[in-house]
């Protein structure tokens, strides 16, 4: 291989893993007359490339009803026997031994319809979440690149799919894959996404499902958008009514119509996580209370086989209030640890003659708090470059309804099939579809401009006006939620953007990896780090700020913003951060006379109190009469690799 022309480096193959009806309303797309759907013509003219497990091409989410012809710039092809259409304009497979782009897993169909699925009335799964389904950009075109099988994806296949998407002429790329932290010069996604960035293509990647633990991120490079997962204000409500009069709210996808009218005896034993335990534990006709340490569906199946009629599943502490709604195939409710521990205490005391009823209330909208960061959403700090804040932003990824190749709730398969699943894989195509809407409104914006707009307009508060919470219902850190929760309409009109070019990133790459690594990522033997201005992570013109000053040291960070709002506008700097940190912004006011004008400012950061362990978080806001441009700030004792 080394002797072949164009060879740069070989590295070991790595395996990567796969990481709706209501979210358009929740994100303000469908309900606002002046919202982004109308302003963008629903993403018309934009091509979304999606790397995943393929697609169920015949699903009505991929009908081309109401779709225009593909743009003339489209250069891709279709490997489907039935051909493509004006919605699904391209479909190719890159998995060895599988030449069909058809989805034999479901993951790719789900993510594709979330990003750009067409309108489908009568969508539902398990009888829940009923309504008209639509992707974030329902009039955008889709190009699907099958790079994964059900068992995962390899670096080489992912890179081949990425390169094809760039060559084909997509505008947006969605990658709901991840394999943990890895140096950028050994990361197929980082390498392929850099080529996309050079072409102005916006790439969104999943943060990973390894939360809630620190430094658990996948996809940490700064030239794409890394997406965390949050809840929406929807619950598939069930209730546990104890015989002592206490009632606890839970969730369950399968909501039975025939349920016991009288309280049922409860059975609890702490060994319930061992499914074989039920062979020696009398649960006949009882509801089992269990706090399992592996997928609760397995517990439910074991209970059913052992003669139990129901199960109360209790989250472990790390899961907190995040409930991944499941189909338990029997009478069931899943509770938070706090509520569940109260049920355990009641069920453990035989003197109570413990009994309970489980009842259902279907799909409930308007639940609070929302959004809340899901426990599984991977967390920062960024292991590869701690001075680059990741994840970038969060989007709905918990209990998301979207297209599925087959029926999931029994009965005959049909074309109109949907499923409800969770993961940062589900959050990522929300951002991809939203970037398609923004590209439709601003086709001349760079990939960095789109990313900046999404970050600086993200919501830091939930629907109740209070700070967004994490899975424990504590204030979510920037390492959990990123800059905040995506706000599509605001992102299309950010006022100012932080732009950055590929050459700046080459300087950054050189500062970490030198010539050898830079040539791998840029994929050119012509890269010479001695000929570029090397940049540390803090010198990149990013819309977020992370600094690590020593005691008595002042760190000066330079940023530049470009006016994309009103031609005549003045912005004033406002900083809010705990008193342990002192931040000065110079100049404190920026005045613009034209669209496209660029202004530079400095942020000086120092400790005013002796630095404690951990990090301090705050915000820099540039405020005008029309816009608030917010940059998250993290100050701590971490250091970047460079």
Per the CB < 8 A criterion, the answer to whether 559 and 541 are in contact is yes
CA-angle at 181, arms to 177 and 182, nearest 5°: 100
Q: Give the list of residues 6+ apart from residue 374 with CB closer than 8 angstroms, or none.
A: 211, 229, 230, 231, 322, 397, 398, 422, 471
Class of the CATH domain delimited by 15-228+371-493: alpha beta
369, with CB counted inside 10 A (0-12, 13-18, 19+), is middle
Residue among 22, 59, 107, 485 flagged as catalytic: 107
pLDDT value of position 641:
46
pLDDT value of position 642:
41
The reply to whether 327 belongs to the active site is no
List the structure tokens of 245: 């009069």
Per the CB < 8 A criterion, the answer to whether 11 and 513 are in contact is no
d(CA 249, CA 242): 12
Angular region, 127: left φ>0, alpha ψ -120 to 50, beta rest: left
Q: How confident is the model at residue 148 (pLDDT cuts 50, 70, 90)?
A: very high
Q: 10 Å Cβ neighbour count for 69?
A: 11
Residue among 425, 432, 511, 624 flagged as catalytic: 425
- 421-452 pLDDT tens trace: 999 999 999 999 999 999 999 999 999 999 99
**pLDDT (mean) for 16-20:** 46
Say whether pLDDT at 19 is over 70: no
Tokens 């950010």 belong to residue: 494
Q: Are strands 225-230 and 234-242 parallel, antiparallel or unpaired?
A: unpaired
Q: What percent of the chain has pLDDT over 70?
A: 94
Q: How confident is the model at residue 560 (pLDDT cuts 50, 70, 90)?
A: very high
* Residue 83 per-residue DSSP state: -
Note the CATH architecture for domain 234-365. 3-Layer(bba) Sandwich (3.50)
Q: What percent of the chain has pLDDT over 90?
A: 83
pLDDT value of position 594:
98
> H or E stretch including 447?
helix 447-456
Is the omega angle on the peptide bond into residue 371 within 30 degrees of 0, that is, cis? yes
Is the model more confident about 546 or about 274? 546
- 259-281 pLDDT tens trace: 999 999 999 988 887 766 777 78
Q: 10 Å Cβ neighbour count for 478?
A: 25
pLDDT value of position 29:
87
Q: CA gyration radius for the chain?
A: 25
Say whether pLDDT at 2 is over 90: no
d(CA 315, CA 606): 41
Q: Which residues pair with 226 in a beta bridge?
A: 205
Q: How confident is the model at residue 22 (pLDDT cuts 50, 70, 90)?
A: confident
pLDDT value of position 277:
72
List the structure tokens of 630: 């917010």
Q: Which residues pair with 619 in a beta bridge?
A: 576, 632
The reply to whether 274 belongs to the active site is no
107, with CB counted inside 10 A (0-12, 13-18, 19+), is buried
d(CA 382, CA 642): 13
Angle, helices 188-198 vs 155-168, to 10°: value is 10
Q: Where are the domains of the chain?
A: 15-228+371-493, 234-365, 500-536, 544-636
Phi, psi of 510, deg, nearest 5 = -60, -40
pLDDT value of position 622:
99
Q: How confident is the model at residue 30 (pLDDT cuts 50, 70, 90)?
A: low
Q: Which of 116-130, 411-425, 540-554 has the lowest mean pLDDT?
A: 411-425
Is the model more confident about 6 or about 398? 398
The reply to whether 425 belongs to the active site is yes
Q: Which of 148-152, 210-214, 526-530, 582-586 has the lowest mean pLDDT?
A: 148-152
* Residue 71 per-residue DSSP state: P
Residue among 22, 40, 52, 157 flagged as catalytic: 52
Q: How confident is the model at residue 10 (pLDDT cuts 50, 70, 90)?
A: low
Q: 10 Å Cβ neighbour count for 568?
A: 11
d(CA 467, CA 477): 10
List the structure tokens of 55: 């697609």
List the structure tokens of 395: 């989007």
Fold (topology level) of 544-636: Immunoglobulin-like (2.60.40)
Is the model more confident about 405 or about 22? 405
Q: How confident is the model at residue 408 (pLDDT cuts 50, 70, 90)?
A: confident
Domains 15-228+371-493 and 234-365 share a fold: no
Q: What is the dihedral of CA 377, 380, 382, 386, to 10 degrees?
A: 170
d(CA 405, CA 62): 12
Per the CB < 8 A criterion, the answer to whether 516 and 475 are in contact is no
């Amino acid at each position: 291989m080394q002797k072949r022309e164009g060879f740069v480096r070989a590295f070991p193959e790595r395996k990567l893993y796969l990481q709706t009806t209501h979210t358009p309303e929740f994100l303000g797309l469908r309900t606002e007359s002046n919202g982004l759907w109308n302003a963008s013509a629903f993403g018309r003219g934009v091509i979304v490339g999606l790397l995943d497990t393929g697609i169920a091409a015949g699903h009505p989410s991929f009908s081309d009803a109401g779709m225009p012809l593909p743009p003339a710039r489209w250069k891709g092809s279709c490997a489907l026997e039935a051909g493509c259409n004006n919605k699904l304009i391209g479909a190719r497979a890159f998995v060895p031994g599988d030449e069909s782009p058809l989805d034999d897993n479901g993951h790719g169909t789900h993510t594709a319809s979330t990003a750009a699925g067409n309108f489908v009335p009568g969508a539902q799964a398990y009888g829940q979440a009923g309504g008209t389904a639509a992707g974030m950009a329902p009039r955008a075109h889709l190009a699907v690149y099958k790079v994964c099988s059900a068992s995962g994806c390899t670096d080489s296949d992912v890179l081949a799919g990425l390169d094809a998407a760039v060559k084909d002429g997509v505008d947006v790329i969605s990658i709901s894959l991840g394999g943990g932290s890895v140096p950028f010069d050994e990361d197929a996604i980082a390498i392929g996404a850099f080529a996309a960035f050079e072409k102005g293509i916006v790439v969104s990647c999943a943060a990973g499902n390894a939360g809630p633990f620190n430094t658990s991120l996948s996809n940490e490079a700064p030239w794409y958008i890394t997406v965390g997962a949050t809840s929406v204000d929807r619950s598939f409500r069930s209730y546990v009514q104890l015989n002592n009069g206490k009632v606890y709210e839970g969730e369950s996808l399968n909501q039975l119509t025939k349920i016991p009218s009288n309280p049922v005896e409860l059975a609890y034993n702490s060994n319930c996580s061992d499914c074989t335990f039920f062979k020696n534990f009398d649960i006949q006709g009882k509801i089992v209370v269990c706090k399992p340490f592996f997928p609760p569906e397995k517990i439910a199946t074991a209970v059913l086989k052992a003669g139990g009629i129901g199960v109360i599943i209790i989250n472990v502490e790390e899961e907190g209030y995040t409930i991944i709604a499941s189909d338990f195939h029997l009478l069931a409710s899943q509770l938070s640890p706090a509520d569940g521990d109260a049920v355990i205490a009641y069920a453990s005391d035989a003197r109570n003659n413990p009994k309970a009823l489980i009842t259902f209330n279907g799909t409930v909208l308007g639940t609070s708090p929302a959004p809340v960061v899901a426990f599984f959403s991977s967390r920062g700090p960024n292991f590869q470059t701690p001075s680059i804040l990741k994840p970038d932003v969060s989007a709905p990824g918990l209990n998301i309804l979207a297209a599925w190749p087959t029926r999931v709730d029994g009965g005959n398969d049909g074309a109109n099939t949907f499923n409800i699943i969770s993961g940062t894989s589900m959050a990522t195509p929300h951002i991809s579809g939203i970037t398609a809407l923004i590209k439709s409104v601003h086709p001349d914006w760079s990939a960095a401009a789109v990313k900046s707009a999404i970050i600086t307009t993200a919501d830091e508060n939930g629907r109740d006006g209070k700070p967004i919470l994490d899975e424990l219902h504590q204030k979510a850190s920037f390492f959990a939620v990123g800059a905040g929760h995506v706000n599509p309409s605001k992102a299309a009109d950010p006022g100012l953007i932080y732009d950055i070019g590929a050459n700046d990133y080459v300087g950054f790459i050189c500062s970490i990896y030198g010539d050898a690594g830079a040539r791998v990522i840029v994929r050119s033997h012509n890269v010479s780090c001695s000929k570029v201005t090397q940049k540390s992570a803090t010198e990149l013109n990013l819309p977020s700020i992370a600094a690590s000053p020593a005691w008595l040291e002042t760190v000066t960070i330079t940023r530049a913003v470009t006016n994309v709002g009103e031609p005549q506008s003045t912005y004033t700097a406002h900083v809010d951060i705990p008193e342990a940190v002192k931040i000065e912004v110079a100049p404190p006011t920026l005045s613009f006379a034209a669209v496209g004008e660029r202004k530079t400012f400095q942020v000086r950061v120092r400790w005013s109190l002796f630095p404690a362990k951990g990090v301090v978080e705050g915000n820099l806001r540039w405020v005008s009469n029309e816009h608030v441009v917010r940059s998250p700030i993290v100050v701590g004792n971490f250091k970047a690799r460079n």
